[in-house]
């Protein structure tokens, strides 16, 4: 029983971290159709915010609240300076954000140095039978659930969410109502960036923080969002669950790297069968 619970928590942790990391991109892609190749770097910046604030004596948890704010602002700047000129040009957006990704990694390397930083993992261990489960892993699972719930709330129960979803379906209509679609896009992109920053901050205590941190996560995130499809919640959650399970299973048997390979393989097969991603399976063909 304890063994089952511990394993279950292990898998839940893998799924939760995947969902947490992918949520930001899922929002940006689902709401605006933009694939932001710098999303990994937003995650990295969130992690660095925590590292930086901890190094300056701030409480870890305060750093975690600070990170989404900082990265949200970065996202805002990026949207204003680059993304907004490229709406409707999907491949060009990808190219430009790719350039941004390279530039950000280089900038952070130059400013903060290439060496690995770290933050201690808080919360100790929780005993389950004779197994010890990291308390922080439980926190990550809770944080992922909370982020999804928060995002769900924002998009379905707030005025902003309603307008944003309206703009996604029909931008002209929203404009006719007196709301400026470019502002919606700007805020949505900032929100997606903030989510990435939060994810980075939460994952920071679990991994060495280096400028190329984003690259370690971004492969998984892209795969999840591509398999998930355009439906932000149903897609990301189902894809996260499926791919997270496979990843943790294979990682357990061999190494995390092959866990990613297994994810990729599974994703390729899935996409061959269901080109619209999991979202397409949920919808019926007209």
**Part of the chain binding other proteins (CB under 8 A), chosen from 50-58, 190-198, 216-224, 242-250:** 216-224
Cβ–Cβ under 8 Å, residues 22 and 221: yes
Closer of 92 and 125 to other proteins (Cβ): 92
Number of residues that bind other proteins (CB under 8 A): 42
Q: Among 185, 195, 227, 191, which Cα is nearest to 93's? A: 185
Which long-range contacts (C-beta less than 8 Å, at least 24 apart) are formed by 122-130? 122/60, 122/205, 128/2, 128/5, 128/6, 128/9, 129/1, 129/2, 129/3, 129/5, 129/6, 130/2
Name beta bridge partners: 209. 117
Residues 82-141 that bind other proteins (CB under 8 A): 82, 85-86, 90-92, 94-96, 98-107, 109-110, 114
**Part of the chain binding other proteins (CB under 8 A), chosen from 138-146, 182-190, 201-209, 253-261:** 253-261
Distance CA 223, CA 82 (A): 24
- Check binding of 59 to other proteins (CB under 8 A): no
Closer of 86 and 138 to other proteins (Cβ): 86
- Check binding of 286 to other proteins (CB under 8 A): yes
Q: Which one of 260, 266, 278, 279 is in contact with other proteins (CB under 8 A)?
A: 260
Paired tokens of 183: 């502002």
Find the Cα–Cα–Cα–Cα dihedral 257, 263, 265, 266, rounded to 10°.
Answer: 160
The torsion region of residue 113 among left (phi > 0), alpha (psi -120 to 50) and beta comes to left
**Part of the chain binding other proteins (CB under 8 A), chosen from 152-160, 181-189, 190-198, 217-225:** 217-225
Residue showing tokens 């770290």 = 118
- Output the smallest distance, CB 64 to other proteins, in A: 27
Residues near other proteins (CB under 8 A): 35, 37, 82, 85-86, 90-92, 94-96, 98-107, 109-110, 114, 215-216, 218-219, 222-223, 226, 255, 257-258, 260-261, 264, 268, 271-272, 275, 286
């Amino acid at each position: 029983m304890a063994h089952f619970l511990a394993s279950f928590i292990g898998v839940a942790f893998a799924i939760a971290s995947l969902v947490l990391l992918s949520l930001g991109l899922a929002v940006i892609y689902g709401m605006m159709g933009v694939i932001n190749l710098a999303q990994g770097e937003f995650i990295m910046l969130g992690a660095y915010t925590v590292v930086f604030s901890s190094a300056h004596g701030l409480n870890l948890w305060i750093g975690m609240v600070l990170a989404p704010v900082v990265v949200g602002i970065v996202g805002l700047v990026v949207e204003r300076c680059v993304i907004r000129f490229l709406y409707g040009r999907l491949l060009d957006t990808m190219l430009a954000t790719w350039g941004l990704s390279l530039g950000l990694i280089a900038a952070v390397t130059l400013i903060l140095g290439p060496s690995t930083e770290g933050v201690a993992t808080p919360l100790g261990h929780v005993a389950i039978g004779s197994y010890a489960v990291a308390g922080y892993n439980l926190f990550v699972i809770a944080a992922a659930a909370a982020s999804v719930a928060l995002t769900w709330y924002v998009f379905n129960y707030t005025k902003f969410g309603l307008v944003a979803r309206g703009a996604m379906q029909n931008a002209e209509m929203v404009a006719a109502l007196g709301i400026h679609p470019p502002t919606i896009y700007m805020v949505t992109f900032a929100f997606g960036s903030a989510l990435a920053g939060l994810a980075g901050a939460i994952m920071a205590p679990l991994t060495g923080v280096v400028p190329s941190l984003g690259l370690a996560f971004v492969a998984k995130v892209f795969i999840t969002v591509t398999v998930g499809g355009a439906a932000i919640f149903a897609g990301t959650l189902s894809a996260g669950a499926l791919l997270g399970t496979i990843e943790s299973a294979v990682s357990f048997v061999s190494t995390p790297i092959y866990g990613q390979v297994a994810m990729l393989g599974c994703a390729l097969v899935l996409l061959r069968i269901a080109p619209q991603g999991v979202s397409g399976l949920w919808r019926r063909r007209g």
